[in-house]
Structure 1
Amino acid sequence: MSRVTTEITDHIAHVRLSRPEKRNAVDPAMAEAIVAAGQALMGADIRAVVLSGEGEAFCAGLDVMSFAQLAAGDPEALVMPRTHGNANLFQEVALIWRKLPVPVIAALQGAVYGAGFQLALGADVRIAAPGAKLAIMEMKWGLVPDMGGMALLPHLTRSDVIRRMTYSATPISAQQAADWGLVTEIADDPLAVAQALASEIAGKSPSAMRAAKALIEYAESGASADDVLIAESRAQTDLIGKPDQMEVISANMAGRAPRFTTRG
């Protein structure tokens, strides 16, 4: 059975972790499948992605059965090679979603632990069920978070929060995660809310949406204020008067939904 399924409807890619009997835990095959799903969408005619997990949990972390397999191998050969640009396979599980040019919305329920937590961090927006539990779980197994979390977390929350969660490995509630900036909002049906948000995004200018995501990523990269201001102006120059923007103006004037012909 496929560990990840992807369905594209109305320019929205619905990507679902499909290993519910293991609470969508990540083993090497699951990691490969998640990365492959993201890579397959790079050139797709999509405007948003909804990332979810089938069953009671979004993703309960690394598959415990994989620990023996990983420990028996050569850690240097397994972890250190940069197989995906500046990342290894397991780091790319989270980072591939930041590399996608369109917004990614994660719908979170149940356990969002370890690998699952870091996967969720790769999304642009995280919608969590009230009962969701989130954790940096690696310390429980004598490890450190190593799936992109340390590249993503400092943009979302405070240093003391990162340290507390890393050192203790204690799960936190969805409300606590929201208070700490790790969850965007809480909803009784996070998948429905994520899908509604994706539909709203898909109705906006695809070229402007892609430019916005790229601009935000650049602004968060540590670029100087001068460089960010230039990047803003360049992005705007590339949008003004172009087909997508003119269609938005026409649609707004006519009181109708825009009809875009470009992929962004």
Structure 2
Amino acid sequence: MARVSVEIADHIATVTLTRGDKMNALDPAMIDAIIEAGEGLIDNSDVRVVVLQGEGKAFCAGLDVMSFAAMAGSDPEEIAMPRTHGDSNRFQQVAMVWQKIPVPVIAALKGVAFGGGFQIAMGADIRIAAPDTKMAIMEMKWGLIPDMGGMAILPMLARSDVIRKLTYTATQITAVQAEVWGLVTELADDPEAAAMELAREIAGKSPSAIRTAKRLIGYAEANAGQVADVLLEESREQVTLIGKAHQMEVIAANLQKRPPVFKD
């Protein structure tokens, strides 16, 4: 059965985890389907923003323990160490692929976002969550550490002590607490509707400026503290936008008090 659906309309790609009867738990087929869905959007020039959501009552409950029980007898080095997707292994790519997509990704969270599901959510640019959503770095419950990209992403979002407490204890928190700690962007009673509303707003902005903004933010995060390099990159990226077709259309639309219309 299909594990992920992708629908594209009005320059918005809606990616839905479709294993709702299992709280969208990650079995091997879903791992592969999520990677395929994300990688399939990287070079799609029609897409201006992505909404990532889960079918049914939950976003994602993390790894399907029964599905991965067979891995217990496998060589862990053969599973974890090969870099199968650039700088990531197969499991890390499930979260990291959303950062590699050149347009903003908005995750709509509800029910639970545990373990791998938590790390997938962290891979998005923005997280909108229902207040009662339960979230946890769950791996310590099973005697493991987060290994799906979490340690590459979390230090950019939350304080070290917060990351340590959640990692050491596998404590479940609500989205209300997660927002306080910087892990959730905002709360909404209907996170999927709120995510779509925000997606429409972003889709109406200059496509080239939005892609450039995501690229520049990523560069600044990866080069934190390298002020001269970041300032130079900021100027270099701005040069690619000034006076170009999308920027000129934005200016014209503002002066004429109308929505901009961008030619692909």
TM-score relative to the length of structure 2: 0.98
- The CA RMSD measured in Å over matched residues stands at 0.7
Which residue pairs with 2:22 in the alignment?
Answer: 22
Counterpart check, 1:98 vs 2:90: no
Return the match for 2:239 from 237, 240, 262. 237
List aligned pairs for 1:166-181, cutoff 5 A.
Answer: 166-181=167-182
Report the alpha carbon displacement of residue 98 of structure 1 after superposing the two structures with TM.
0.2
List aligned pairs for 1:26-41, cutoff 5 A.
Answer: 26-41=26-41
Which residue pairs with 1:190 in the alignment?
Answer: 191
Report the alpha carbon displacement of residue 228 of structure 1 after superposing the two structures with TM.
0.5
Within 2, Cα distance between the matches of 1:160 and 1:31?
30
List aligned pairs for 1:223-234, cutoff 5 A.
Answer: 224-234=226-236
Letter in 1 for 2:2: S
Which residue pairs with 1:83 in the alignment?
Answer: 84
Which residue pairs with 1:67 in the alignment?
Answer: 68
Report the alpha carbon displacement of residue 42 of structure 1 after superposing the two structures with TM.
1.2
Which residue pairs with 2:2 in the alignment?
Answer: 2
Secondary structure, in 3 states, of the residue corresponding to 1:85?
Answer: coil
Which residue pairs with 2:216 in the alignment?
Answer: 215
Which residue pairs with 1:253 in the alignment?
Answer: 255
Within 1, Cα distance between the matches of 2:223 and 2:65?
36
**What percent of counterpart residues are identical?**
65
Which residue pairs with 1:127 in the alignment?
Answer: 128
Letter in 2 for 1:256: R
Which residue pairs with 2:53 in the alignment?
Answer: 52
Within 1, Cα distance between the matches of 2:31 and 2:139?
16
| Structure 1 unaligned spans of 5+ | none
Within 2, Cα distance between the matches of 1:36 and 1:66?
19
Letter in 2 for 1:198: A
Secondary structure, in 3 states, of the residue corresponding to 1:25?
Answer: coil
Deviations 1:191-227 (A, max 9, x none): 0000000000000000000000000000000251101
Counterpart check, 1:138 vs 2:139: yes
Report the alpha carbon displacement of residue 143 of structure 1 after superposing the two structures with TM.
0.6
- Structure 1 runs (4+) greater than 2 angstroms displaced: none
Letter in 1 for 2:152: A
Report the alpha carbon displacement of residue 28 of structure 1 after superposing the two structures with TM.
1.5
Letter in 2 for 1:38: G
Report the alpha carbon displacement of residue 66 of structure 1 after superposing the two structures with TM.
2.5
TM-score relative to the length of structure 1: 0.98
List aligned pairs for 1:108-119, cutoff 5 A.
Answer: 108-119=109-120
- On the 8 A contact 2:27/2:68 being kept in 1, the answer is no
Structure 1 stretch displaced more, 117-126 or 73-82: 73-82
Within 1, Cα distance between the matches of 2:175 and 2:121?
13
Letter in 2 for 1:220: E
Secondary structure, in 3 states, of the residue corresponding to 1:239?
Answer: coil
Within 1, Cα distance between the matches of 2:246 and 2:129?
33
Which residue pairs with 1:157 in the alignment?
Answer: 158
Within 2, Cα distance between the matches of 1:101 and 1:183?
21
| Structure 2 unaligned spans of 5+ | none
Report the alpha carbon displacement of residue 101 of structure 1 after superposing the two structures with TM.
0.3
Between Structure 1 and Structure 2, how many residues are aligned? 262
Report the alpha carbon displacement of residue 67 of structure 1 after superposing the two structures with TM.
3.3
